[in-house]
Amino acid sequence: MLIEIFTYLPEWDFLRNARHVCQIWNLISTSPILRQNVELSKYMDSYAYPLKYFSAIQLYIKKLVMHSTYIQTFEKHHQDVKFENLKSLHITSKVQCTWWPNSIFNNFFSMFPNVQIIKITPEFWRDAENCLYALSQFSIIELDFGYYHGSNSYGTCGNLHLHYRFIQFVQGQKSLKILKIRASNYFAEDTVAQILEKCPTLTSLNISGAYVSAESFKMSTNALALTEFYIKSQSEFTDDDLEALTKRAPCLKTLNIEGCRSITERGFRHIALNCSYLKRLFIGELDSNCVTAVGSDVITKIAKACPHLEFLSVIGCSKLEDDCIMDLASSCGSLRGINLNGCTNITDVSFFALADHCPLLNVCEVRNSAISLKCAIYLIQHCKGLTKLNVSNCNNIDDKNYSELENMLETQSQTNQPRTSSSVNSELDMSSCSMHCFHSHLKDLDLSESMHVTRTLATKLTRILPDLISLKLSISADIESDKEWFQEIFENCVCLSEFKLSTTTIQRQDYLKL
């Protein structure tokens, strides 16, 4: 029991408090079960990390998350500690070691001889170079590398140095599978093209902020092993680039090109032609308040060509209509998630089709759509695995006609009545009915900005959705006079620790009955 409780303690509590209470607590604080994932992401004003403590747990740690300010501390005071079994290292803040000896990265990383997963963000280009040089001695499987600082005395020359160092690093990594580049246009124009050419083992490439030239995917025709590709908000990424990418990577299963506004219907057509194994697709915008010109024909073609699709995000695609979502539902029966935020022309017809043809659906986001309460209830009833439903800013969600809710509540109350001989005889009929009328799997319900949702409707919804752990509403309430309503919400949803109203968050502990 203590071990289970201790799993919720932050690392500084182990170091400063828990392990000093008694011998048993000290012994538990070094338990292999607890010390596999250690997080030192918050800077503490003391450097008093006893070597003895890390000596005791060093062989247990598999993942370490730490603040960059501890790099020098570790390197200086813990060179004799070896985290032999550590596989994942995450530095949470920007690393600035420019004024330190060049050997500091080598000494620091030598403490993790078997590290395979790295996330780090050097501050200056010299830090980035030294970091890559030190990492080149390891066999890295996954690298998340960020670089945002552009001002240095070397100007473009510094960026070219970093480009060559990065390409040299990638070329030497024979086991590199997953690469994420977070930068702000500080690499050379052909950096991405060189990465694809020099590292044929890559299965996942994520480009965020780094400049991608128009020729990055056309400089070579060699086949790529990529199964995941992410590139967001790149105006330079065009139809020709998408065509070249999909032809070179026919085994793509995840494709994220949100915010790439230069892509037209001609480019999207190549997804349908070349990506028959696709499972996750993100197109459209990053924000539902923005709109994009993706039409219904695009979604229909992709749906029919990619029958294994499990997740589709088309945020801000306001031109989409019901016919394409109906085609999607009938063609992709394994769909598990859909994001239609900002698709203002989508009506109940689409959601009825999703409910009827996609029983595995577990995430549905339809912010700013025309979905009605009746359809939302139908979706909840028929998708037994649905855990998240976002119907925020949907003004057709109202209590003008909630007979469906009344029927569900009536069935629920009958099911909870004491059993009699007649009820036992009709048990099969009742259980069959309750399966269609009572849903207890939904965990996350967002009704914020849906201005026609009243307290009565919210209360009834919580009665039929007792397993909610997240609830958002835009209902005005008074902290003092509405205590009974708050208490009723918490009584209906026993797992709900808090719920959000327009301007405040209501906490369970403030409204429990004494």
Q: Each residue's pLDDT tens digit in the chain (514 positions)?
A: 888 888 887 777 777 788 788 888 888 877 777 778 887 766 554 444 555 667 677 788 899 888 887 787 777 766 677 888 999 999 988 887 766 666 788 888 888 999 999 999 888 778 888 889 889 999 999 999 988 665 444 445 556 677 888 889 999 999 999 999 887 665 666 788 888 888 888 999 998 876 677 677 887 778 899 999 999 877 778 888 899 999 999 999 999 999 888 888 899 999 999 999 999 999 988 776 666 778 899 999 999 999 999 999 999 998 999 999 999 999 999 999 999 999 999 999 999 999 999 999 999 999 998 899 989 999 998 999 999 999 999 988 887 766 666 665 565 555 544 434 344 344 334 333 443 445 568 999 999 999 889 999 999 999 989 999 999 999 888 888 889 999 999 999 998 989 999 888 999 888 765 4
Please report whether residue 462 resides in a domain: yes
What is the tally of structural domains in the chain?
A: 2
Please report whether residue 494 resides in a domain: yes
Please report whether residue 213 resides in a domain: yes
**CA angle, residues 400, 323, 241, in degrees to nearest 5:** 125
CATH number at residue 235: 3.80.10
Please report whether residue 386 resides in a domain: no
Which of 396, 400, 397, 379 has its CA nearest to residue 388? 379
Euclidean distance between CA atoms 71 and 74, whole angstroms: 5
Q: Which residue has the tokens 């939302």?
A: 376
Please report whether residue 459 resides in a domain: yes
Based on the domain organization, do 191 and 45 belong to the same domain? Answer: yes
Buried b (16+ CB within 10 A) or exposed e, 446-461: bbbbbeebebebbebb
Query: How buried is residue 487: exposed, middle or buried, by Cβ count under 10 Å (0-12/13-18/19+)?
Result: middle
Residue that finishes a domain, picked among 259, 282, 311: 311
Based on the domain organization, do 307 and 453 belong to the same domain? Answer: no
Which range of residues forms the domain containing residue 505? 436-513
Based on the domain organization, do 307 and 444 belong to the same domain? Answer: no
Euclidean distance between CA atoms 132 and 144, whole angstroms: 12
Based on the domain organization, do 441 and 306 belong to the same domain? Answer: no
Please report whether residue 277 resides in a domain: yes
Collapse the DSSP code of 230 into the 3-class scheme (helix H, G, I; strand E, B; otherwise coil) and give the result: strand
Based on the domain organization, do 171 and 24 belong to the same domain? Answer: yes
Cα torsion 45, 50, 51, 54 to 10°: value is -90
CA–CA distance from 271 to each of 202, 255, 256, 277 (Å)? 20, 9, 12, 10
Residue that finishes a domain, picked among 311, 328, 358: 311
Please report whether residue 153 resides in a domain: no
pTM here?
0.84
**CA angle, residues 262, 298, 314, in degrees to nearest 5:** 70
Based on the domain organization, do 4 and 143 belong to the same domain? Answer: yes
Please report whether residue 411 resides in a domain: no
Residue 254's pLDDT is 97
Residue that finishes a domain, picked among 256, 276, 311: 311
Based on the domain organization, do 441 and 292 belong to the same domain? Answer: no
Which helix (H) or strand (E) is 389 found in, with range?
strand 388-390
Euclidean distance between CA atoms 456 and 470, whole angstroms: 18
CB 217 within 8 A of CB 189: no
Based on the domain organization, do 193 and 46 belong to the same domain? Answer: yes
